[in-house]
Amino acid sequence: MKKVWAFDLGASNGRLMVCGFDGNRLCIEEIHRFSNHPVQVTGHLYWDILRVFQEMKNGILKSIQSGHKEIASLGIDTWGVDFGLLSSDGELLGNPYSYRDAQTEEAMKLVFEIITKSEIFRRTGIEPLQINTIYQLVAIQKRSPWLIDQAETLLLTPNLLNYFFCGVRANEFTIVTTTQLYNFKQRNWDFELLERLHLPSRILAPVIQPGVVLGPTLQSINRELDIDSVQVVAVAGHDTACALAALPMKHEQSVFMSCGTWVLMGIQVKEPIVTEEALRWGFTNEGTLEGFYRLQKNIMGLWLIQQCRAAWIREGKKFTYEQEELWVKDAKPFQSFIDPDDPMFFNPEHMPNQIRQYCQMTGQHVPETKGEILRCILESLALKYRWVLERLEQLTCISLREIHMGGGGIRNPILCQFTANATNHYVIAGPVEASAIGNSLAQWISLGEMKNLQEAREVVERSFEFKIYQPQNQTEWQEAYDKFTKFLDRQNAYE
């Protein structure tokens, strides 16, 4: 059986998956999993990218020790927007900043003094968010101009790691579209925008399409790991693009949800939708494996629950996922709501206290128990998904039929069922490792083992189990949605 290595790196953990293909079905095996969290040093948040790379090499060693020796290629997908800078001799100029670093707070104001939100959205199709690459660059240019001066090449995170493996400097299309520096009409970096912001275009490596074979692993890598050369493929570098590729969607009326630290919810479109409504509602347009676009909304996802768990663990409280489910089921429904995307929840010191404070500030029942807090989060997330779905229908004039959920978030059956209940749509959940599977599909297509994405999705459907959630308790959830939308409207009126 032919095999590939799929490195799928998220903003909380990374993993190496070995993906095999026998010509009919895929099989996937997790070889190595490791944590990946930004490190706070001198008041800034950085990614420990060299430790990440070492963990990737550790995964390769484990793979070899497990008997996976004949590997055709490797591919890497990650979260978006973040990047590393290389000097003229190819050395990394410091650890990359995390998108959650506070340095970009003032940068957005500086950009909007030069170009309006509407214009930048029309040019790039990307929602203006302080995490975007464009604001990170402006912040660095203002605070540490020497760093930009010394840089010869900017590589986005998956492309930086590709470079570590094979020495090729190139930025792949899907990850490039997250930067807000890509002009979708010109299908290239927006050089005029860069000039207006006094950002050097010279540092931006060329844009390549997903599926390009970059070349073999470096001899230094081969010697260190005692492996034969492996081809490095520029898969869809953005993990959401990979996840979308792995969902067996059959028509334009299908909604995708990539569920992890963030939840990305949207539909596939041929060209970006850049209307004023899309901008006002916070939608964005990012690239797909096929070279098209995802009209989607970036929604806070399991980050809220992850941070609650982290806070409780710091307090010495240990519990299981099964206990969490029981807490949620025992809590009274629809007692209080949050807007999951409120800036208060972006990176608080103590998430449970932040949720309590939010509910107190908005005149609601203040959740006290763990079950009440978790139920508030899960119900609010599901109701926000319906809000997004309705606006997708308005923007595209398409009546949407079902929701495909993939990623680690579907391991939470309550979230899946609540999503079906809130949206009154069938939810098709699977596969769990959607990003890694989509990563491998891009490799198989590049290697000529699969003809195209349509055939690849048929293979996925044959290879993995899917669970269907049907809507329940529609009267109660409709009443809850009516309360939730009034709550959102009231909060937006205060801003």
| pLDDT tens, residue by residue, 294-325 | 999 989 889 999 999 999 999 998 889 899 99
Q: Tell me the CA distances in angstroms from 110 to 88, 101, 104, 107, 258, one per residue in order.
A: 29, 17, 10, 5, 32
Count of Cβ atoms closer than 10 Å to residue 8 Cβ: 28
Q: Which two tokens stand for residue 281?
A: 């509602």
Burial label, 198 (beta-carbon count in 10 A; 0-12, 13-18, 19+) = exposed
Confidence tier at 493 by pLDDT (50, 70, 90): low
Could you give the CA distance from residue 460 to residue 207 in angstroms, rounded to a whole number? 29
Return the structure tokens found at 456: 């690849």
Q: Which helix (H) or strand (E) segment is 52 a member of?
A: helix 49-65
* Residue 463: partners with Cβ closer than 8 Å, 6 or more residues away: 25, 26, 27
Query: Is residue 287's pLDDT more than 90?
Result: yes
In a 10 Å sphere around its CB, with 0-12 CB exposed, 13-18 middle and 19+ buried, how is residue 336 labelled? buried
Outline where DSSP puts E strands in 171-282.
171-172, 182-183, 188-189, 207-208, 212-216, 231-234, 254-259, 262-269
The C-alpha R_g of the chain, in whole angstroms, comes to: 22
Burial 308-334 (b: 16+ CB within 10 A, else e): bbebbeeeeeeeeeeebeebbeebeeb
What are the residue numbers of the active site?
239
E runs forming strands in 345-477: 402-406, 426-429, 467-469
Q: With 80 as the cut, is the pLDDT of residue 492 above it? A: no
Q: In this structure, are residues 202 and 143 in contact, taking their beta carbons and an 8 Å threshold?
A: no
Residue 12: pLDDT band (50, 70, 90) is: confident
Strand-pairing partners, residue 3, are: 20, 71
Q: How many CA atoms lie less than 13 Å away from 178 in the CB half-sphere?
A: 30
Report CA-CA distances (Å) from 77 to 21, 161, 237, 394, 487: 20, 9, 4, 31, 37
The token pair that represents 41 in the structure block? 């040093």
> What was the pLDDT predicted at 347?
87
Q: Cα separation of 190 and 192, whole Å?
A: 6
CA 136 to CA 103: how far, in whole Å? Answer: 7
In this prediction, residue 495 has a pLDDT band, given cuts at 50, 70 and 90, of: low
Beta sheet of 2-9, edge-to-edge order: 26-35, 13-21, 2-9, 71-77, 231-234, 212-216
pLDDT at 29 over 80: yes
Q: Give tens-digit pLDDT for 81-124.
A: 999 999 999 999 999 999 989 889 899 999 999 999 999 999 99
CA atoms of 190 and 27, how far apart (whole Å): 40
Residue 163's alpha-carbon distances to 77, 116, 155, 390, in angstroms, are: 13, 35, 8, 41
**Cβ(30)–Cβ(437) under 8 Å?**
no
Distance between CA atoms of 393 and 283, rounded to whole angstroms?
A: 12
Tokens of residue 485, six digits: 């939308």
396 within 8 A of 278, measured Cβ to Cβ: no
The residue-averaged pLDDT of 393-413 equals 95
| pLDDT the model gives residue 296 | 97
β-strand partners of 309:
none
Average pLDDT, the chain: 96
pLDDT digit string, tens, across residues 341-360: 999 998 899 999 999 999 99
**Residues forming beta bridges with residue 429, ordered by sequence position:** 405, 467
In this prediction, residue 186 carries a pLDDT of 97
pLDDT digits 0-9 by tens, 168-220: 999 999 999 999 999 999 999 999 999 999 999 999 999 999 999 999 999 99
Is the dihedral angle over the CA atoms 330, 334, 335, 339 positive or is it negative?
Answer: positive
CB contact at 8 A, 256 and 269: no
pLDDT digits (tens, 9 = 90+) for 152-168: 999 999 999 999 999 99
- Which CA distances in Å does 423 have to 317, 360, 379, 389, 418? 34, 27, 12, 8, 8
Q: What does the pLDDT look like over 417-457, one tens digit per residue?
A: 999 999 999 999 999 999 999 999 999 999 999 999 999 99
pLDDT band at 11; cut points 50, 70, 90? confident
The answer to whether residues 99 and 160 touch, using CB atoms and an 8 Å cutoff, is no
Q: What percent of the chain has pLDDT over 90?
A: 92
pLDDT of residue 494: 59
